[in-house]
Amino acid sequence: MKNPDQPPARGRPRTITPERIAEVGIEIGLPNITFVGVAAALGVSHMALYKHVANLEALKRLVAEAIFTRWQIPRAGDGEQVSLRDYLTLFTTSVREFVKAHPGLTPYVIRRSAATQPMIDKIGGHQLHIAEAYGIAQDRARWLLATLAFHGIAVADTVYSVAGQGLADDAERAAEEAEMEAELIQGMRALIVGALALLEEDAADDAAALTAS
């Protein structure tokens, strides 16, 4: 029988795992993450946390990766089959809502150099899925989705970062955000139409070149 007065065995605390660190980081929110804050939430010292994560930037990357890999990107054929244009509307809506729900994430998803391998794999898998679902060459599906994601993330981050700043009244802040959000949605619709037109133009050029050869 174990002696109740026996001190616990020394060793790595069970509470420090990548999964637990990510959970705590998501709860705190990327803009507010500090080593001391995450360590306190885990119930360990910040020096103990340093044994698992090298620095604050690595800590934020770990949390950003966890947020991104949990993002439920809409799939083609989920429910009723929709046109590519309608699917892209669903996709850009998901992008906008994702950015709104996770302040501070944009620097880790908009720059290729900042993305981790699991994030790159998730993006590549989604691009392949859309290429196969709609009969598009994979390089064109990559360009289409990357273009929409890049602009959608960048503009949404700007909108939700600045909307309502300097306004004391809650109703005024909400009204300004709604107005800017509506303009963002309209802009993404225009971008979708233009991107699809370019896609069709490229396909026509390829067909003409094939016929000429």
pLDDT at 59 > cutoff 70: yes
Q: Are 83 and 133 in the same domain?
A: yes
Q: Are 113 and 172 in the same domain?
A: yes
Q: Are 28 and 99 in the same domain?
A: no
Residue 8 in domain: no
Residue 5: partners with Cβ closer than 8 Å, 6 or more residues away: none
Give Rg (Cα) of the chain: 22
From residue 205, give the alpha-carbon distance in Å to each of 102, 127, 129, 145, 202: 41, 22, 24, 21, 5
pLDDT at 13 > cutoff 60: no
Split into its structural domains, the chain has a count of 2
Residue 1 in domain: no
Q: Are 96 and 48 in the same domain?
A: no
Residue 4 in domain: no
Q: Are 40 and 105 in the same domain?
A: no
Q: Are 107 and 29 in the same domain?
A: no
Q: What is the pLDDT of residues 60-116, one digit of tens each?
A: 999 999 999 999 999 997 667 789 999 999 999 999 999 999 999 999 998 888 888
Q: Are 86 and 176 in the same domain?
A: yes
For the chain, give the mean pLDDT.
87
CATH of the domain at 88: 1.10.357
Q: Are 117 and 35 in the same domain?
A: no
Q: Are 56 and 86 in the same domain?
A: no
Q: Label residue 77 left, alpha or beta by phi (over 0 means left) and psi (-120 to 50 means alpha).
A: left
pTM equals: 0.84
Q: Are 91 and 109 in the same domain?
A: yes
Residue 62 in domain: yes
Q: Are 131 and 193 in the same domain?
A: yes
Task: Look up the domain containing 100 and give its range.
Answer: 73-212
> What band does 194 get if pLDDT is binned at 50, 70 and 90?
very high
